[in-house]
Structure 1
Amino acid sequence: MNTEALTMSSFHQGNVTTAMFILVGFPGMEASHFWLAFPLCFLFLLAILGNCTIIYIIRAERSLHEPMYLFLCMLAAIDIMITLSTVPKMLAIFWFRSTSIAFDACLVQMFFIHGFSAVESGVLLAMAFDRYVAICAPLRYTTILTSSVIAKIGCAAFVRGIGLMTPLTCMVSRLPYYGPNVIGHSYCEHMAVVKLACGDITPNHIYGITAATFVVGSDTIFIAVSYVLILRAVMGLSSKEARQKSFGTCGSHICVILIFYTPALFSFYTQRWGHHIPAHIHILLADLYVLVPPMLNPIIYGMKTKQIREQVLKPFYPKGVKVET
């Protein structure tokens, strides 16, 4: 009996904890899997290298131990966790045809993907608040964003994200799985797994939409309010140079916000209602969602932030380097 037959047998017996799911990668594009893995691997390596570099520079350079950079360090750590929880298995599927994944491992992967995505949204909100305080209340910046406040904000983002995704994972684990075990995806996305269940998935559907809408909706509203207030304050500055500098400090964060939320919302809602979109297109964009933002974030901040650029270039210019803002 082959592996797939054994897997189907364990599903029909109801032994979910020892059952195996099958991840298909890109449905209908199996012949191209081997070659598609190369750009994915390249993006993965860039993401890991870039985010590790950001963390190392901020940790090693005491002048960067400021709220903005500490939040950036949190963002880099989250991006590393998201990519490590998804991409190695993707590459195993595409290169080695290792398509099977244990039920428990699938739940863990789902928890990490959705949980840390929610945490990242909270950190982006914290970074918007940091820019608001820096521009609208610069004289109180250090007294408002103290080390203890930064730690509390980071913990709050973590607890909220993980707290919202824990019930979701528990609900998925209690569903009965007796039918097909093939997940039409490259990783264990929530709705892709839930659709395989034989029971009533309405509670999962409602909770998933509610949790995602609450996180994304509330965070984007507060981020938008922060930037409206920032824009008002910047436009009130008398110096053109000061306005340009203020816009420059916010530009990188706005780019990161757009890169994170746009594919996230597209992937989330098309999984539920975008049935007219070809499966391989949706899955490709969902895969890029867990790769492109983590890869671009350190590049954007590295290009836009003078202090980080100087630290990156320092090994190549031992006598010092001056980088224009």
Structure 2
Amino acid sequence: MADMNLTPFDPSIFILTGISGLETAHEWISIPFSISYIIGLLGNFTLLFVVSKEQTLHKPMYLLICILALTDIATSTAIVPKALCIFWFNLKVITVGGCLTQMFFLHMFSIMHSAILVTMAIDRYVAICNPLRYTIFLTNARIAKLGLVGLVRAVLFSLPMPLLLRRLPFCANRIIPTTFCEHIAVAKISCGDITVNRMYGLVLMFLIMVLDLPLIVLSYGLIIRAIFRMSSKKAHEKALSTCTAHIFVMLMYYTPSLFSNLAHRFGQGIAPHIHIILSNLYLLVPPMLNPIIYGAKTKELRNKVGKYTCRS
């Protein structure tokens, strides 16, 4: 194999072990990885195709779903191909530059994902709680600007990570016990002081939780209150159905993400393979399920998808 001629002591490379402790099961583990990746790509590209083709779907909510789909495609593509190379071909070598690049984009897409979820929560709040001002307050142009702000924030928050790792010395141990380059996982194998890296990781997690989660919780709290005050049963059911899908997407992303981040830093008693599986879950499962959830729960989108997929 390609990595057999290189040793873990080569200063130009790192070694990704895959799922430590479950190396013998790598081929079996690759099956759900590849299936979830393929389903995610098909689902998200289908959403992008349908929304781009249908003029009636050129609305803020569907624009947000498209941005989320692009982020999902980028997130899963950042980790799955390399993971499958490890599982199938034992190609564990990754250059230092490749590792830092993967880490930067992975964290950037994750932070961008969070910003999109916040914007979607605000979008649903205005649509349900103040529908008369929806077309004035939330336009496609404004959504595009919010998306750009989210992207700039994601870049600024992610950029210090590879820069902080560049300053660290790496000695004999260059083995990263996971499937992808994550900031703390790489920092842990350094033979230098990683206090700054740990603090930045915690500050970043705190900022995301303080800036994003309260806005989401507040928005959906107000939405749920407004839904139960609706007199029309049909409007009540429609709003509740849409919000259920959105809330499920939020929980599906933030719950494993928060647990994985805390386990990485404070879960010394948790088996290494549990850490790795959790880290992969919150990066793999949302991209696979998001298009299914939105396709099933959003009637207008579901009908348009059916129009293309059910053609003879």
1:10 has 2:10 as partner: yes
Q: C-alpha deviations, 1:249-303, integer Å up to 9, x for none?
A: 2111101001100111111110111111111122112112211110000000011
Q: CA deviation at 1:196?
A: 1.1
Distance in 2 between residues matched to 1:231 and 1:162, nearest whole Å? 33
Distance in 2 between residues matched to 1:254 and 1:306, nearest whole Å? 17
Distance in 2 between residues matched to 1:102 and 1:223, nearest whole Å? 38
Q: CA deviation at 1:213?
A: 1.5
Q: CA deviation at 1:317?
A: 4.5
Q: 2:287 aligns to what?
A: 294
Q: C-alpha deviations, 1:199-239, integer Å up to 9, x for none?
A: 21101100111012111332110111111211222222222
1:37 has 2:35 as partner: no
Distance in 2 between residues matched to 1:6 and 1:291, nearest whole Å? 30
1:211 has 2:204 as partner: yes
Contact 2:9 2:173 in 1 (8 A): no
Amino acid at match of 2:284: L
1:114 has 2:92 as partner: no
Greater shift in the superposed pair: 299-308 or 227-236 = 227-236
Q: 2:59 aligns to what?
A: 66
Q: C-alpha deviations, 1:99-141, integer Å up to 9, x for none?
A: 0100000001111111110010000000000001101111111
Distance in 1 between residues matched to 2:8 and 2:306, nearest whole Å? 55
Q: CA deviation at 1:316?
A: 5.2
Distance in 2 between residues matched to 1:65 and 1:53, nearest whole Å? 15
1:306 has 2:299 as partner: yes
Percent sequence identity is: 45
Q: CA deviation at 1:5?
A: 7.5
**Aligned partner of 2:160 among 158, 164, 167:** 167
**Aligned partner of 1:54 among 47, 55, 65:** 47
Amino acid at match of 1:250: C
Q: CA deviation at 1:161?
A: 1.2
Q: Over the residues paired in the alignment, what is the CA RMSD in angstroms? A: 1.6
Amino acid at match of 2:82: K
Distance in 2 between residues matched to 1:317 and 1:45, nearest whole Å? 20
Q: 1:184 aligns to what?
A: 177
Q: C-alpha deviations, 1:170-204, integer Å up to 9, x for none?
A: 11122111130000111111111001112211011
SS in structure 1 opposite 2:10? helix
Distance in 1 between residues matched to 2:123 and 2:308, nearest whole Å? 30
What is the aligned residue count? Answer: 311
TM-score, L = length of structure 2: 0.96
Amino acid at match of 2:10: S
SS in structure 1 opposite 2:290? helix
Distance in 2 between residues matched to 1:264 and 1:284, nearest whole Å? 12
**Aligned partner of 1:83 among 66, 76, 80:** 76
**Structure 1 runs, 4 residues or longer, greater than 2 Å off:** 2-11, 315-319
Distance in 1 between residues matched to 2:68 and 2:310, nearest whole Å? 28
Amino acid at match of 1:83: S
Contact 1:179 1:196 in 2 (8 A): no
TM-score, L = length of structure 1: 0.92
Q: 2:223 aligns to what?
A: 230
Q: CA deviation at 1:305?
A: 0.8
Q: 2:14 aligns to what?
A: 21
Distance in 2 between residues matched to 1:282 and 1:167, nearest whole Å? 24
Q: CA deviation at 1:81?
A: 0.4
Amino acid at match of 1:107: L
SS in structure 2 opposite 1:21? strand
Distance in 1 between residues matched to 2:80 and 2:205, nearest whole Å? 22
Distance in 2 between residues matched to 1:135 and 1:73, nearest whole Å? 21
Q: Residues 178 and 249 (structure 1 numbering): CA distance in 2 closer, same or farther, change over 3 Å? A: same
Distance in 1 between residues matched to 2:132 and 2:35, nearest whole Å? 44
